[in-house]
Amino acid sequence: MESIQQLLATGGMPVRDDGTIDLTELARMSLEDMVNQIMDIQADELVGEGNRRNGYRERRLVTPVGEIVMRVPKLREGTYFPDEIVRPYSRVDRAVIATVREVYVRGLSTRKIEKAADALEFASLSPSRVSRMTADLDEEVAALNAERFDGMEFPYLWLDATFPKCRDGGHVQSKAVVTAIACGSDGQRRFVGFDAVDTESAASWKAFLKSLRRRGVKGVKCVTSDDHGGLVSAVAEVFPGAAWQRCIVHLERDVAEWFPRKADRAAALAAMKATFAERDPQLVRASYRRACEVIGEISARAGELLEDAEADALAYLDFPREHHLRLRTNNVQERANEEIKRRTKVVGVFPSTESLMRLVGSVLVDVNEEWMLGQFMDASSLVGLARDTGEPEPPSAEVVELARTRIAAAIEERRAA
């Protein structure tokens, strides 16, 4: 280009403090010169008999190589606008918007994006400007929460909540972000809904689950979750006939809290882990009852808790054996929550519920896209799926004795460690 040749001839190349050529500034200058030449040529093509150019109007545009000044030609008659280069009213190039959106969704706060842009001498990107650039994420988030699932059934559902801080009504408070992951009859897992609510009450869970029903989430056979307040009754009302599986990992934690002594806590956890390590349903049931006895001898309250939870902790045994590992824990939700927490932690306190929903929803959209690349369950194993509601056969004497032996061995091994 002529301008670059002139720079070379005059020695006016942009140079860093160490004497090397500033390639970023050179690219910015070249882009600015090229864009202005393109606009001059396009404007000249519009100028005909009786019409002339009438100066310029300057417009700044943030690009991946920095901010450029566009000299948009003015005409005496009619108007010219470089639609092929920039959108009307936009002050930021689409590539920059895409980049800012990506780093925002990946967990960089608006203020950190501002600092990074300043450090890179990229452009002036204030938090409010970043927020405007990421506002179109709202459409993707709204689409996630409005998607319909007509014609599909979701036999398995996992529910959970996480609690980021948010400013609401002039006060900072924890918001319960409730999420629902479902496995459809196609064997794919996906987020089917999320919401931010004030409390984890039965009314909140009920309203959330009803919204899933309205959008076509049906055919639910089993719901897995922690023992959230109000959730169990809401599940029973909105999805009648569905089993509730209490996450065994959270159950282990709840039981462990009753043991102040480390040795007793280790023995209780060893008994429970040995129980859930078994795969044969009869042996699992026999081991669970033996674990209740052993734990009850150390702490009556812990033993009662475990005994009362038996039906819900072992609900997964009523379903096909190949689904047991997926159903008995809420790990699929835990991993998703870790991603949500990782990306929301850098924000600290969200300025509004809308900004919280935008970021969390964008994370879920990303996770959904990743999940669509793989299979969660064998679709053929979900065909005609039905819960076994019959009374399980009592374990034989041999199974009971085997359970006693394995629980005792697990506790002894733990104590010897």
Q: For the chain, give the number of residues.
A: 417
Q: Is residue 106 part of a domain?
A: no
Closest by CA to 189, choosing from 385, 369, 328, 380, is: 369
Domain range for 151 is 136-245+331-386
Q: Which pLDDT belongs to residue 120?
A: 47
Q: Which pLDDT belongs to residue 103?
A: 55
The CATH number linked to 369 is 3.30.420.10
Q: Is residue 412 part of a domain?
A: yes
Q: Is residue 302 part of a domain?
A: yes
- 381 and 398 assigned to the same domain: no
- 320 and 272 assigned to the same domain: yes
Q: Which pLDDT belongs to residue 26?
A: 79
- 287 and 379 assigned to the same domain: no
Q: pLDDT tens digit string along 339-372? A: 888 877 767 787 788 878 888 888 888 889 889 8
Q: How many CA atoms lie within 13 A of 243 on its CB side?
A: 22
The last residue of one of the domains, among 74, 91, 108, is: 91
Closest by CA to 249, choosing from 333, 342, 165, 357, is: 333
Sheet holding 349-350, edge to edge: 171-174, 165-168, 349-350
- 70 and 201 assigned to the same domain: no
The rounded distance, in Å, linking the Cα atoms of 245 and 133 is 42
Q: How far apart are the first and last CA of the chain?
A: 75
Q: Is residue 39 part of a domain?
A: yes
- 6 and 78 assigned to the same domain: yes
Q: Is residue 239 part of a domain?
A: yes
Q: Is residue 63 part of a domain?
A: yes
Q: Which pLDDT belongs to residue 409?
A: 95
- 66 and 210 assigned to the same domain: no
Q: Is residue 339 part of a domain?
A: yes
The last residue of one of the domains, among 36, 63, 91, is: 91
Q: Which pLDDT belongs to residue 331?
A: 92
- 37 and 173 assigned to the same domain: no
Question: Alpha-carbon dihedral of residues 163, 165, 168, 173, nearest 10 degrees?
Answer: 80
The answer, as to whether pTM is greater than 0.85, is: no
Q: pLDDT tens digit string along 35-83? A: 888 888 888 877 766 677 888 888 877 776 677 788 888 887 777 887 7
3-class SS at 150?
A: coil
The rounded distance, in Å, linking the Cα atoms of 371 and 180 is 14
Tokens 């990946």 -> residue: 106
- 293 and 335 assigned to the same domain: no
Q: Is residue 17 part of a domain?
A: yes
- 146 and 210 assigned to the same domain: yes
- 220 and 344 assigned to the same domain: yes
Q: pLDDT tens digit string along 126-155? A: 555 555 555 666 777 888 889 999 989 999
For the chain, which ranges sit under pLDDT 50? 1, 95, 116, 119-121
- Domains in the chain: how many in total? 3
- 410 and 270 assigned to the same domain: yes
The rounded distance, in Å, linking the Cα atoms of 90 and 104 is 19
Closest by CA to 270, choosing from 169, 373, 414, 100, is: 414
**Residue 382 has what DSSP assignment?**
G
Q: Are 318 and 311 in contact (CB under 8 A)?
A: no
- 218 and 305 assigned to the same domain: no
